[in-house]
Amino acid sequence: MNISLKGKKALVGGSSRGIGKAIAQQLAESGASVTLLSRSVDKMQDIIKNLPKTENQEHSFLQVDFSDFEAYKAIIFDYFKNNTIDILVNNTQGPQAGGALEKKVDDYQIAFDLLFKSVVFTTELALPHMQKNNWGRIINVASISVKEPLNYLALSNTIRAAVVTWSKGLAMDVAKQGITVNSVLTGYFDTERIAQLNAKKAEKLGVSQSEVRKTMERQVPVGRIGKPEEYGYLVSFLASDKAAYINGTNIPIDGGLLKSL
């Protein structure tokens, strides 16, 4: 099956590393023109140099800080004054780790701005062009923790669940306009984020980081941690015409880790 996104424009959040970078890479390989969103200009410049490019593709980047919503709001609003996109991948860095007893109400507000408000605001700006063209793809990077909460990720569990339920409602509202809205529930992937979480977990448990990783691998039925490029393959498919009948779904990509239906 050939996935072609030729002529499509994609905006990918958190794309200077990890899953976001892998998504941008695969969308570009499938023919899309990609705009990266991240804080790191140097990393984005390096990535763009190495993205596949044909005469029909133009890649770019936009420096943003998702953790400062008001600043992000101004930058992304200005971007959409002169740009339109066909594919939106909502992805940001994760909020700070910690359990429910460690977090205060202000922490939840910060996480809400980071994970929810940025997603909703960006989607609102992207939708008019999609509605006009009767074609669009909105893909949210979420987590398996919306189905089976991880007690050390209270903020992520809570706010990503809100994103997923909001997405379901939006999917019903825009489906007849040729726009699909789906969420990908992320399992364990070999990224800097998971390495940071493992380091904190190892310190808390008084064990080595390698032991934490081995335990994590044993929990996954396929016996390993996911590769970021495997995530990119799924998103590229969801962004294509081949996935036009997939809408309003929450798709786990976790090697079989989720035990719930």
For the beta carbon of residue 89, count every other beta carbon within 10 angstroms: 28
| 199, pLDDT greater than 90 | no
Concatenating the DSSP letter of every residue in the chain gives -----TT-EEEETTTTSHHHHHHHHHHHHTT-EEEEEES-HHHHHHHHHHS---TT---EEEE--TT-HHHHHHHHHHHHHH---SEEEE--PPPPPB-TTT--HHHHHHHHIIIIIHHHHHHHHHHHHHHHHT-EEEEEEEEGGGTS--TTBHHHHHHHHHHHHHHHHHHHHHGGGTEEEEEEEE--BSSHHHHHHHHHHHHHHTS-HHHHHHHHHHHSTTSSPBPHHHHHHHHHHHTSGGGTT--S-EEEESTT-----
Q: Which residue has the tokens 């990535």?
A: 47
Give the whole-number percent of the chain exceeding pLDDT 90.
Answer: 86
pLDDT value at position 261? Answer: 83
Q: Can you tell me the distance from the alpha carbon of 52 to that of 132, in angstroms, rounded to the nearest whole number?
A: 29
pLDDT band at 192 (very low <50, low <70, confident <90, very high): confident
Least confident of 71-80, 114-123, 195-204: 195-204
Give the whole-number percent of the chain exceeding pLDDT 70.
Answer: 100
Sign of CA dihedral 67, 73, 74, 75: positive
Q: Is 188 a catalytic residue?
A: no
pLDDT value at position 28? Answer: 98
From the candidates 72, 79, 108, 152, give the one annotated as an active-site residue.
152
| 55, pLDDT greater than 90 | no
For the beta carbon of residue 78, count every other beta carbon within 10 angstroms: 11
| 111, pLDDT greater than 90 | yes
For the beta carbon of residue 154, count every other beta carbon within 10 angstroms: 23
| 193, pLDDT greater than 90 | no
Report CA Rg, the chain. 18
Segment 80-95, tens digit of pLDDT = 999 999 999 999 998 9
Average pLDDT on 256-261 reads 93
pLDDT value at position 203? Answer: 84
pLDDT band at 195 (very low <50, low <70, confident <90, very high): confident
The answer to whether residues 46 and 25 touch, using CB atoms and an 8 Å cutoff, is no
pLDDT band at 197 (very low <50, low <70, confident <90, very high): confident
Q: Can you tell me the distance from the alpha carbon of 68 to that of 91, in angstroms, rounded to the nearest whole number?
A: 15
Q: Which domains does the chain have, with CATH numbers?
A: 9-187+228-253 (3.40.50.720), 190-225 (no CATH)
Whether the model clears a pTM of 0.85, i.e. scores above it, the answer is: yes
pLDDT value at position 194? Answer: 84
Average pLDDT on 95-106 reads 93
Average pLDDT on 180-207 reads 89
pLDDT value at position 88? Answer: 98
